[in-house]
Amino acid sequence: MTTTPTARTTATGTAGPPQDAAEVLARARALAPLLRERAAEVEQARRLPADIVELLRGTGVFRMCFGPEWGGPALTSMEQTGVIEALAYGDASAAWCGVIGANTGLIANFLDPGVVKEIYPSLDLITAGVLAPAGRAEKVPGGFRLSGRWSFGSGITHSEWVTSGAFVYLDGEPYASPDGSNPHESRQFMVPQDQVEIIDNWNTTGLRGSGSCDYTITDVFVPEARTFTFYEPRGRLSPLSQPESFMRALCGVPLGVARAALDHARTQARARTDRMTGTDWSDSFRAQTTIAACEADFNATRNGVYGAMTRQWEVLAAGGTLDDLTETERAASPLAWLHAFRTSRSIVTRLYDLHQTWSINRDAPMDRWLRDTTTMCQNLTAQDAVLESVGAYLLGGTPKFRISLGLTS
């Protein structure tokens, strides 16, 4: 396994871990220009270069979800999303890996405290993996024998730990939860990255630098204590020890990209003149209305994300549960996440069209933002499965994608 330094020099020139949300955000913002400069290199590598990973560590993004009981800064969901927006303003792949790695602190809420101390001696260690139960785990004395192949392991090339979803079997037969809640139980399994075989097959349209390769695990023993589900918090109860906590900040990636594209388009428009008419873009109806409409969509979408997130946090921080939200309030979060992905792609597409042939070269940032937002919208968070499940919930039906609503039954 990779050994993580205990102190680092960050993009801001300071050393040591950040102490609070303001410092994590400041470091992320300071790193963004460098990420923008190296975006082409990141794409070509199809994974994050090692020094970029260390610069991300230095921002505190990988430790930002750890609570005070571990010495972590315990950022709220809103603060986490802001950090991811700042990183995505520089490069989407780096931000995507940042938010995936930040789930380490969330996973700690669902493991026994003794296990957390054992596997995470540093809060800056990175966990990657795929939560969908694509593997098979056979129950054996003391734990499980895990095998399978998982797709889209974002950040796995630079992680220290890998968590993977798998269905549980006993003597070759599907294992039912003892409490009867699940006829075929699935869990998450923590495995050191050096026991995982990474398949170098990540060659995509966008998010090319995220290294989201397939991986296999073959007959690896996983102790019972290194397994968990997102429905059983074992640590301190908090707003982050909720089933869907790992999904909240991901929408910061499309929001950060859309903001970067809007700022770039506005800067370019101020300096351009229509070659056919001699009209400055600043006085062009087409440029004016496109920019304004995209700004309107961005503001409404972003406010929807933070509004739903803030209301949820208020209820949970006061000691309530997700069940204390109204149906409309509970539905607002997954809908806002989906809307952030889809609206950000729409914004980038319209700005790409506004810039016409200035957008089409591979070294044009608009080209990368178009490819990145197109690819990230294929994530489950942005799919119709969310609409179907939220609609079922609001109509009293049976949601299929329950965890997006934090439903336990």
Rounded Cα gap, residues 285 and 297, in angstroms: 18
Phi-psi region of 155 (alpha: psi -120 to 50; beta: other; left: phi over 0): left
What are residue 216's DSSP bridge partners?
A: 149, 197
pLDDT at 4: 39
Helix axes 327-355, 285-317, angle to 10 degrees: 150
Rounded Cα gap, residues 7 and 348, in angstroms: 38
Contacts of 98 (CB under 8 A, 6+ apart): 56, 59, 61, 62, 83, 84, 87
pLDDT at 9: 47
Domains in the chain, ordered, with CATH?
21-119 (1.10.540.10), 127-228 (2.40.110.10), 248-405 (1.20.140.10)
pLDDT at 1: 37
CA distances from 283 to 95, 279, 286, 296, 348 (A): 35, 7, 9, 19, 21
Cβ burial of 225 (10 Å; 0-12, 13-18, 19+) is: middle
**The two structure tokens encoding residue 164:** 């993977």
Closest CA to 95 of 82, 106, 108, 107: 82
Per-residue pLDDT of the chain (409 residues; tens, 9 = 90+): 333 333 344 554 556 899 899 999 999 999 999 999 999 999 999 999 999 999 999 999 999 999 999 999 999 999 999 999 999 999 999 999 999 999 999 999 999 999 999 999 999 999 999 999 999 999 999 999 999 999 999 999 999 999 999 999 999 999 987 776 778 999 999 999 999 999 999 999 999 999 999 999 999 999 999 999 999 999 899 999 999 999 999 999 999 999 999 999 999 989 888 877 778 888 899 999 999 999 999 999 999 999 999 999 999 999 999 999 999 999 999 999 999 999 999 999 999 999 887 778 888 899 999 999 999 999 999 999 999 999 999 999 999 999 999 997 7
Rounded Cα gap, residues 245 and 239, in angstroms: 8
User: Which pTM does this prediction carry?
Assistant: 0.94
Cβ burial of 56 (10 Å; 0-12, 13-18, 19+) is: buried
**Average pLDDT in the chain:** 93
Q: Chain-centre distance of CA 252, in angstroms?
A: 8
**Can you give the length of the chain in residues?**
409
pLDDT at 14: 53
Rounded Cα gap, residues 28 and 24, in angstroms: 6
Summarised one tens digit per residue, pLDDT across range 180-212 is 677 899 999 999 999 999 999 999 999 999 999
Rounded Cα gap, residues 340 and 248, in angstroms: 11
Cβ burial of 3 (10 Å; 0-12, 13-18, 19+) is: exposed
Strands 143-153 and 161-170: unpaired
Cβ burial of 270 (10 Å; 0-12, 13-18, 19+) is: exposed
Rounded Cα gap, residues 339 and 278, in angstroms: 38
